[in-house]
């Protein structure tokens, strides 16, 4: 059976990494890395960790009830608080497919302390 599919674009940098010698080299290094500690036949002990940086927002914006714009001629203004802190979310899963509960890492220092320390 023949199916019609839409082509996916591939960046030039990613396409460059698809050369045969690069792929073969990657998997030979991976095999060595797994064989040395004896993990080749223990996929439940091989984990993948993905991280994603996000901003934390703890509060929702309030709902403002105002007269229609035609009558008042003004938009309601709200002074916003500082942006949320940066947090890192970790997603952890082993090679069998068992996932560990996601982990959220909070920065223990506010942004202004980091600026003072780095200068």
pLDDT at 19 over 70: yes
Angstrom distance (rounded) from CA 33 to CA 110: 39
Band of pLDDT at residue 35, cut at 50, 70 and 90: very high
Cβ atoms of 55 and 85 closer than 8 Å: yes
Band of pLDDT at residue 62, cut at 50, 70 and 90: low
Helices within the chain (DSSP H only): 12-16, 20-35, 69-72, 111-118
Range name among 16-20, 57-61, 95-99, 112-116 with the lowest pLDDT average: 112-116
The predicted-structure confidence for 1-15, as pLDDT tens digits, reads as follows: 787 877 777 788 888
Please state whether the predicted TM-score (pTM) of the whole model is above 0.75. no
């Amino acid at each position: 059976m023949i199916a019609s599919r839409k082509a996916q674009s591939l960046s030039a940098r990613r396409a460059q990494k698809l050369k045969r010698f690069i792929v073969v080299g990657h998997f030979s290094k991976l095999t060595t890395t797994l064989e040395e500690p004896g993990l080749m036949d223990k996929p439940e002990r091989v984990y993948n960790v993905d991280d994603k940086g996000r901003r934390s927002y703890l509060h929702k914006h309030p709902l403002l009830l105002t007269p229609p714009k035609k009558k008042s001629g003004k938009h309601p203004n709200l002074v916003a608080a500082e942006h949320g802190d940066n947090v890192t979310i970790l997603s952890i899963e082993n090679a069998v497919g068992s996932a560990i509960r996601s982990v959220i890492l909070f920065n223990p220092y506010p942004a202004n302390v980091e600026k003072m320390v780095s200068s």
